Amino acid sequence: MEKRGEEEKVPLLEARGDGGSKVEEEEESSLSLGRRVWEENKKLWVVAGPSIFTRFSSFGVTVISQAFIGHIGATELAAYALVSTVLMRFSNGILLGMASALETLCGQSYGAKQYHMLGIYLQRSWIILFVCAIVLLPIYLFTESLLIALGQDPKISAVAGTISLWYIPVMFSYVWNFTLQMYLQSQSKNIIITYLAMLSLSLHLVFSWLMTVKFQLGLAGVMGSMVIAMWIPVFGQLAFVFFGGCPLTWSGFSSSAFTDLGAIIKLSLSSGVMLCLELWYSTILVLLTGYMKNAEIALDALSICLNINGWEMMISIGFLAATGVRVANELGAGSARRAKFAIFNVVITSFLIGFVLFVLFLLFRGNLAYIFTESQAVANAVADLSPLLAFSILLNSVQPVLSGVAVGAGWQSVVAYVNITSYYLIGIPLGAVLGYVVGFHVKGIWIGMLLGTLVQTIVLLFITLRTNWEKQVEIAQEGLKKWYMDEKRRLQGSRENP
């Protein structure tokens, strides 16, 4: 807990006015388009580059685990697919979504130079997410029973129940990992996250090989290695923050973390709903596939496709994070023009990368399946799904970036309604009809859900294009000033009533 003298040293900075922003915009207007693109891309890649690499590394831990488990047996692979794409996506959606409130709060506060608020927001998020993780715990303890109740294969569900117990410490690591990443990203200090992610991935690869190939520990070996890999970044980031890595934004633990939780809980819930609806969408795809005949091969093939798609999604999610930071920083700084230019730049950049990958995956088709399995039947099933995989990659190069715009601007509650309509009233019903009624099976389910994603992307693009960004700047500035005045009154009250 901070001492009274330290508290008084914390600067209470006024929200940044429009004057400085207008001067900077006038200076930028004199630059050529090429120079403006170059300057914006430097700002973008400072956040996006480390963010993409970090997510590649984190996702790589999951893929390495899947690769080793896939060579243990088909049942184990199907069980791991259920846990990683259903259970973990469910809990990750809640935790990541609620943590994403920090992207809005920290990003706008940093842009307005209210640096002291970032550390307080971080601590408030720790409290909220830890309570949330406790609430989620029973799901991990009773996974086998839940999957059987949902109609999944009892043999696969039994193995999934064992795997889910190993995921409990992994789930708790996300409480700190997600929040610390967003706190550091908002300050463009996420290079430390990259180093830790690289270390984590390397150690997981080595430990997984030792425990499964050398010592023949099977599932326990792979999952034990994953637990270690997930906690390494947490301890590293905490050490970086606590020991001087963020001198402007971290001044120690504060009693303020336990006050005014209502506002951040509200935004966290909106963020959680928005991202959960997106992340659970593909979870429903896995569950619907699990009800089909020959579900083991279908689940294995779908799991491999989703993991390949997940690699590309790490690029898009990296851009999502960078978009949220850039938009929030510029709104906090009072610049509508730079916010709009940042959005245009990141959408074009992400789409071009997605288009190149779209072409490559159409060419390679099912050859990548042999990284994860030795089964010819599964590899053939993956090849059959490859065109849908390629179109998913193309669409996912734009959709997450538009979600990042929403996070930066604080539109989470609006996007939640868009997601409910496009995903759950359009995509899933269409997928069920095409898959079960028309008889297209996994392809039909996937086509329906792709159409839902397409609708969501079009709606978000329309909202972004029609937004009055000058008005968004005013809203952000008003919110920052309100938070500033609330915090000032709280500190004055604590001095008057020691």
For residue 4, give both structure tokens. 């009274």
Q: Give the domain extent around 289.
A: 4-485
Q: What is the pLDDT of residue 484?
A: 61
Pick 370 or 325 by higher pLDDT.
Answer: 325
Q: What is the pLDDT of residue 194?
A: 87
DSSP reduced 3-state for 301: helix
Q: How confident is the model at residue 3 (pLDDT cuts 50, 70, 90)?
A: very low
For residue 301, give both structure tokens. 């093939």
% of the chain surpassing 90 pLDDT: 13
What is the count of structural domains for the chain? 1
Please give the distance of CA 230 from its chain centroid, rounded to a whole number.
15
**What is the pLDDT averaged over residues 236-244?**
93
Q: How confident is the model at residue 254 (pLDDT cuts 50, 70, 90)?
A: confident
Q: What is the pLDDT of residue 252?
A: 83
The tens digit of pLDDT for each residue in 48-105 reads 888 888 878 877 888 888 888 877 887 888 888 778 767 777 777 778 777 877 877 8
The listed range with the strongest mean pLDDT (172-176, 310-314, 320-324, 470-474) is 172-176
Count the neighbouring beta carbons within 10 Å of the beta carbon of residue 205: 17
Rounded distance, CA 84 to CA 381, Å? Answer: 20
| pTM as predicted | 0.75
Rounded distance, CA 239 to CA 222, Å? Answer: 27
Q: What is the pLDDT of residue 289?
A: 67
**Assigned domain for 17 exists:** yes
* Residue 432 vs residues 252, 292, 295, 419, 444: alpha-carbon distances, Å: 52, 12, 16, 18, 7
DSSP state of 13: P
The listed range with the strongest mean pLDDT (33-37, 107-111, 456-460) is 456-460
* Residue 93 vs residues 165, 213, 272, 275, 279: alpha-carbon distances, Å: 19, 33, 7, 6, 6
Please give the distance of CA 334 from its chain centroid, rounded to a whole number.
26
**Assigned domain for 129 exists:** yes
3-state helix, strand, coil in the chain (%, to 5): 85, 0, 15
Q: How confident is the model at residue 389 (pLDDT cuts 50, 70, 90)?
A: confident
**What is the pLDDT averaged over residues 379-391?**
82
**Assigned domain for 349 exists:** yes
Q: How confident is the model at residue 189 (pLDDT cuts 50, 70, 90)?
A: confident
* Residue 342 vs residues 53, 117, 146, 323, 399: alpha-carbon distances, Å: 21, 24, 44, 7, 16
DSSP state of 216: -
DSSP string, 344-398: HHHHHHHHHHHHHHHHHHHHHGGGGGGGT---HHHHHHHHHHHHHHHHHHHHTTT
Q: What is the pLDDT of residue 492?
A: 60
Q: What is the pLDDT of residue 489?
A: 64
Q: What is the pLDDT of residue 9?
A: 39
Pick 246 or 362 by higher pLDDT.
Answer: 246
The listed range with the strongest mean pLDDT (17-26, 28-37, 40-49) is 40-49
**What is the pLDDT averaged over residues 333-359?**
88
**Assigned domain for 194 exists:** yes
DSSP state of 215: S
Of 118-132, 149-163, 455-469, which gets the smallest average pLDDT? 149-163
pLDDT over threshold 90, residue 232: yes
pLDDT over threshold 60, residue 437: yes
DSSP string, 419-468: HIIIIIIIIHHHHHIIIIIS--HHHHHHHHHHHHHHHHHHHHHHHHHH--
**What is the pLDDT averaged over residues 389-417?**
84
**Assigned domain for 496 exists:** no
The listed range with the strongest mean pLDDT (44-58, 346-360, 367-381) is 346-360
Rounded distance, CA 94 to CA 314, Å? Answer: 18
Average pLDDT, the chain: 80
**What is the pLDDT averaged over residues 178-206?**
89
**What is the pLDDT averaged over residues 212-236?**
89
* Residue 32 vs residues 20, 29, 36: alpha-carbon distances, Å: 21, 8, 6
The tens digit of pLDDT for each residue in 116-126 reads 888 888 998 89
Q: What is the pLDDT of residue 279?
A: 65
Q: What is the pLDDT of residue 211?
A: 87
**Assigned domain for 491 exists:** no
Residue 145 class from Cβ within 10 Å (0-12 exposed, 13-18 middle, 19+ buried)? exposed
pLDDT over threshold 80, residue 403: yes
CA trace torsion 327, 331, 336, 338 (10° rounding): -50
**Assigned domain for 266 exists:** yes
442-452 in b/e form (b: 16+ CB < 10 A) is: bbbbbbbbbbb
Q: What is the pLDDT of residue 487?
A: 62
pLDDT over threshold 80, residue 184: yes
- Is residue 496 within 8 A of residue 4, CB to CB? The reply is no
DSSP string, 78-142: HHHHHIIIIIHHHHHHHHHHHHTHHHHHHHHHHHTT-THHHHHHHHHHHHHHHHHHHHHHHHHHT
Rounded distance, CA 227 to CA 224, Å? Answer: 5
The listed range with the strongest mean pLDDT (84-98, 217-231, 408-422) is 217-231
pLDDT over threshold 70, residue 238: yes
